[in-house]
Structure 1
Amino acid sequence: MTSDLGLRERKKQRTRQAISDAAIQLFLARGYDAVSVADVAAAAEVSKPTLFKYFRSKDELILDRIDDHRAEPAQVVRGRSAGESPLDALHRHQLRLLADRDPVTGISDRPQVIAFQRLLYNTESLANALLAYSIEGVELLRDALVEACGPGPHRVTAGLVANQILITTRRLGLDNWAQVAGGRTTEDLYPEAVAAVNHAYALLRGGVGDYCG
């Protein structure tokens, strides 16, 4: 029985991945607005009802690729070292992502990553979906900060701090991506990106004062 359950789960994962891959390939080739859910289902060789078992909407077909990053800042805060402030932990994590050339930082020169980010950031019809995605990320980080710093009036401050941190991170990533898309190499840009992160967190520290520090 356990073996059968494992087999079914692997089959579901393969189906989900096949749908996701087909969607991204079509979106990159033809543009997000020119591709329908029916087109994706046909390319993945599944029915539309099957597709909707794995993805609730067309937006999810593309946002699924960045979904892991939504909860990541909150996880960093909860998993920080003893005695480390949330802001220091997030700063350290951002530098590690840059060193790893993680696509979320914009420091990736892989053509498919650049094309995906162009699709994500330049598609007007995705604006509301991206806004909802960002709001959920802020709420997750806010809750982690409340856990770290205590309840009460901290909740309002935590929401403001979470919003500033994630807006700053997103702005840095967009700037990096734009430069790489414009022809800069990641090796050339990397030292500037590190300096920008350090500068941004210095500003954040000055702005949030001693909050939870």
Structure 2
Amino acid sequence: MEELGLRERKKRRTREAIMDAAFALFRESGFDGVSVADVAAAAEVSKPTLFAYFSTKEDLVLRRFLDDTSGPAFVIRNRPSGVPALKALRQSYLQRLAKRDTLTGLNDSTTAITFHNLLYSTPTVMTRLTVYMLAQERELATELFASGELDDEFTANIVAAQVFGVQRILADHNAQEIRSGRTADEVYPAAITRAEKAFDMVEAALV
């Protein structure tokens, strides 16, 4: 067990070293100006090793912040007993804003700004993110239907699409304000207000 723990820690360090090298290079030269070989060399790993951790060049940008085990479907599956699904999703999003989750757009760290600059300036990165989000949207729809709170699968699919649409628009607004020069702390109150209004609208549509 100890040996496995050491192995996992080494893998995590290697993964983080690759991501750190990639972001440093992307920040300096842009996404298209950096090759996978450049990243591998900077991280002192081979290309096969890099691809063992990241399937595509776009994943070097996205996988720093995407987590398959903590998306909206995970929130629904693990919400406290008696808490409605949409309330759990709202609470989760507000908590992510408070923690300055990069995917909410409300993060003014150098790494987060680099991430959003790459995302909005590189069509292939945005396309890859869309693929991930659509997969998570389908998973959320499945969990919403399984919760028994919605009438049918069609409604569950509509609500899941609305939730992901709301989160995308909120993140776009937050990121735009950060990119305009405002700090995350300055944007936070308005971000909370927008999020509450958006989730109110989704819930109202189900009444």
Equivalent residues of 2:58, 2:125 under 8 A apart: yes
Correspondence for 1:91: 90
Question: Structure 1 residue 75: deviation in Å?
Answer: 1.3
Question: Structure 1 residue 69: deviation in Å?
Answer: 6.4
Question: Structure 1 residue 203: deviation in Å?
Answer: 0.8
Correspondence for 2:45: 46
Question: Structure 1 residue 205: deviation in Å?
Answer: 1.1
Residue 167 of structure 1, aligned match among 137, 155, 165: 165
Matched letter for residue 43 of structure 2:
A
CA distance in 2, matches of 1:172, 1:5: 41
Give the secondary-structure state (helix, strand or coil) at the position aligned to 1:58: coil
1:77 corresponds to 2:76: yes
CA distance in 1, matches of 2:108, 2:7: 36
Question: Structure 1 residue 150: deviation in Å?
Answer: 7.2
Correspondence for 2:179: 181
Deviation per residue, 1:33-75 (Å, 9 max, x gap): 1111111111111111111111111121111112216742111
Correspondence for 2:199: 201
Correspondence for 2:36: 37
Deviation per residue, 1:103-130 (Å, 9 max, x gap): 2222222233112211122212223212
Give the secondary-structure state (helix, strand or coil) at the position aligned to 2:192: helix
Pair 19,185 (structure 1): closer, same or farther in 2 beyond 3 Å: closer
Pair 17,188 (structure 1): closer, same or farther in 2 beyond 3 Å: closer
TM-score (structure 2 length as normaliser): 0.91
Q: Which runs of 5+ in 1 are unaligned?
A: none
CA distance in 2, matches of 1:121, 1:79: 32
Question: Structure 1 residue 191: deviation in Å?
Answer: 1.5
CA distance in 2, matches of 1:46, 1:88: 45
1:115 corresponds to 2:138: no
TM-score (structure 1 length as normaliser): 0.89
Matched letter for residue 94 of structure 1:
Y
Pair 3,189 (structure 1): closer, same or farther in 2 beyond 3 Å: closer
Correspondence for 1:133: 132
Provide the alpha-carbon RMSD of the alignment: 1.9
CA distance in 1, matches of 2:127, 2:96: 27
Deviation per residue, 1:163-195 (Å, 9 max, x gap): 110110111011011011102232332221111
Counting only pairs closer than 5 Å after superposition, residues 140-159 of structure 1 correspond to structure 2 as 140-149=139-148, 154-159=152-157
Equivalent residues of 1:71, 1:140 under 8 A apart: no
CA distance in 1, matches of 2:91, 2:49: 41
Equivalent residues of 2:58, 2:124 under 8 A apart: no
Equivalent residues of 2:118, 2:125 under 8 A apart: no
Matched letter for residue 186 of structure 1:
A
More helix by share: 1
CA distance in 2, matches of 1:50, 1:133: 23
Equivalent residues of 2:36, 2:47 under 8 A apart: yes
Report % sequence identity: 42
Q: Which runs of 5+ in 2 are unaligned?
A: none
Equivalent residues of 1:108, 1:180 under 8 A apart: yes
Q: Report runs of 4+ in structure 1 exceeding 4 Å deviation.
A: none
